[in-house]
Structure 1
């Protein structure tokens, strides 16, 4: 007796299904091309143009990139760093401080919501409260700190009134402190959301198994919860770092227009109609941010984890 063992083609390989998949991907692909790839290509193109006080001059020149790194490849007599390196170091400093503070605060809040709030309804309520800062403009939230931290603000009035200080503290506003404070206030939610999502997906039986094995609370946190939250931590870190790297509004308002950052330099160059030079700075900034994102994504396969 003979049996028919001829192979059959999978249904997914039919031309109709393939064409339908392409049509489904077409809207998102169109949006991606129109609003990301084309603007990015235009910025890259303009970065190689020349300019004068009145207009941009289409062409091809490395003049703008040379201007960005002017003085960085040669040592001056005083041994100081060039303006570009100083600016990037200042931006990296803010990135590191804001990332560390938002990570600690975001992880703590997420841990409380995920493991200490037992009612799912209360979790939703508290989580919505965490998103309240998004209900108002960033500028309004920043300006709200001025009457609190100013020389004649509530904080200084309290400290002077109770004799804690002899005179108002100057560095509370228009300083590195106020910039970091505003960043943390504005962007901590970007760290809370992905970490909380990762924690809610943790199998609670793993926590019980660690407790039954005699692990302390800190051991369970470090060896079980933190590794399982890597995806949320990396995603939150990408959000915070990329936003802080390109921000110029917060640094301008809370720094009193006295603190330099890469985003602030690009904004100033744009205001002076130096669009090719601003585009070159933007391309350099984008390249550095992409390298940071690439380094972060090497720590965990985000697509696999999600």
Structure 2
């Protein structure tokens, strides 16, 4: 019976014209993707194997640029400059990721579960985006009169008798760099987490409460697992941006703190394009490895 029924079902085949139309529809996006993404990456990879001198680039194939990047790293007595720079970059990425994750999750949780009115939710969400209406550089510079030696914060601390002299580490330090990063990129964590929270079925939270779960148990066993897609997407945004940033570290670090992005920018300004390209390739590989590790935690395409 089942065999006769299955044999009687019509077999749906896709018309060749429809398949060809689908390829034509995908062609513009594919062309843009190749022109503005794959071709530049291929050029960077190609230039990273070129040689150069003080006056010109020398097309060819050499591993000299990669060797020079890791020169002296085999010495076990002291960490080489490249490893120190990467360690500094990873340190900033980890700190900024952790702070933005906690802050972004808290803000998203408040907007999604404690603000009942959709209108108020929209208003508060728009208020979170107001800093993005201005340039990143302007937002960074705005911290200088606040955190400087003679800035508002130091004047207030000295005036209140909290300290006897201005605090030096508030500006042009690791603290100011992390503070600026958190200020600039927390929104990249809020948006995907808030989107995930708004998609949570509220009946699941009610069921957890009816089962006697505490607020922390509901948060840990229900809300966080259902928000993992937003957490992963926000983490990818924040980590990848911080890893390649050089403007924020240059401005808020007083040109005294090294990062991979800053090294690439300096090498480019000195017209050492093959060396900068080699550093960019190494940074790209590391970032792709981080993204791959994060996407192993959750199937983003399936969840979305």
Using the size of structure 1 for normalisation, the TM-score is 0.96
Q: 2:30: which partner in 1?
A: 29
Q: 1:42: which partner in 2?
A: 43
Q: 1:133: which partner in 2?
A: 131
Q: Deviations over 1:135-156 (max 9, x none)?
A: 0000000000000000000000
Deviation at 1:24, TM superposition (A): 1.6
Deviation at 1:73, TM superposition (A): 2.4
Alpha-carbon distance in structure 2 between the residues aligned to 1:110 and 1:155: 29
Q: 2:283: which partner in 1?
A: 285
Evaluate the alpha carbon distance shift between residue 117 and residue 53 of structure 1 in structure 2; reply closer, same or farther with a 3 A threshold. same
Please point out which of 2, 10, 13 is paired with 2:12: 10
Let me know the Cα RMSD of the aligned residues. 1.3
Q: Structure 2 matches for 1:58-207, cutoff 5 A?
A: 58-75=59-76, 79-207=77-205
Deviation at 1:88, TM superposition (A): 0.4
Evaluate the alpha carbon distance shift between residue 207 and residue 74 of structure 1 in structure 2; reply closer, same or farther with a 3 A threshold. same
SS in 1 for 2:54: coil
Evaluate the alpha carbon distance shift between residue 5 and residue 295 of structure 1 in structure 2; reply closer, same or farther with a 3 A threshold. closer
SS in 1 for 2:186: helix
Q: Hey, which bits of structure 1, 4+ residues long, moved more than 3 A? A: 2-9
Deviation at 1:5, TM superposition (A): 4.6
Q: Deviations over 1:14-43 (max 9, x none)?
A: 111111111121111111100000000000
In structure 1, list runs of 5 or more residues that go unmatched: none
Alpha-carbon distance in structure 1 between the residues aligned to 2:120 and 2:10: 53
2:201 is the alignment partner of 1:212: no
Q: 1:222: which partner in 2?
A: 220
2:28 is the alignment partner of 1:57: no
Alpha-carbon distance in structure 1 between the residues aligned to 2:6 and 2:232: 53
Alpha-carbon distance in structure 1 between the residues aligned to 2:215 and 2:27: 49
SS in 2 for 1:48: coil
SS in 2 for 1:131: helix
Alpha-carbon distance in structure 2 between the residues aligned to 1:110 and 1:99: 16
SS in 2 for 1:266: helix
Q: Deviations over 1:144-200 (max 9, x none)?
A: 000000000000010111111100000000000000000000000000000000000
In structure 2, list runs of 5 or more residues that go unmatched: none
Deviation at 1:74, TM superposition (A): 3.3
Question: Alignment length, in residue pairs?
Answer: 301
Evaluate the alpha carbon distance shift between residue 214 and residue 27 of structure 1 in structure 2; reply closer, same or farther with a 3 A threshold. same
Q: 1:302: which partner in 2?
A: 300
Alpha-carbon distance in structure 2 between the residues aligned to 1:82 and 1:123: 50
Alpha-carbon distance in structure 2 between the residues aligned to 1:261 and 1:57: 27
Alpha-carbon distance in structure 1 between the residues aligned to 2:40 and 2:10: 46
Alpha-carbon distance in structure 1 between the residues aligned to 2:238 and 2:193: 13
2:243 is the alignment partner of 1:245: yes
